[in-house]
Structure 1
Amino acid sequence: MTEILKSKMIAVCNTKIAQKGEGVGISFYAFFKNKNDTPELLMEAATWWIKTQQLDHFEKAIKIKKLVENS
């Protein structure tokens, strides 16, 4: 995973957790705007989420943050 994606994922998880608490769920789409302006980064996130980690569509942000920090 690139450092750009890793940093982005951790930042989004931190924001979501701060806003809605540790029980908040997210999908890999949470890391991107509705406009697909970075398709390579989106595919990297999708591949990591779906193929590498074999996660469900929605997961707890706290879980994702820990996985990313430990990768």
Structure 2
Amino acid sequence: MAKVSLRPLDDRVVVKPSEAEETTAGGIVLPDSAREKPQRGTVIAVGPGKLLDSGNRGELSVKIGDVVIYGRYGGSEVE
């Protein structure tokens, strides 16, 4: 896996979306305009965790390499 130059802050993560399906279950080839935005991806970077009132950092439940599912309109796209 390539080294990522992004360094998320606090409890944020960077996810590389999975490729969108090119064909349907029935074998119909979908054009780019008809493909749905993927909602599954692989975690490629994680922040250090949320800063708690105690001054400690909360541990994240995901790590680099985990496959995650996220909301359709969740997050921000970066290139």
Q: Which TM bucket (shorter chain)?
A: under 0.3
Query: Relative to total residues, which structure has the larger strand share, 1 or 2?
Result: 2
* Bigger relative CO (Cα 8 Å, ≥ 6 apart): 1
Query: Relative to total residues, which structure has the larger helix share, 1 or 2?
Result: 1
Normalising to structure 1: TM-score of the pair?
0.26
Answer with 1 or 2: which has the greater Rg: 2
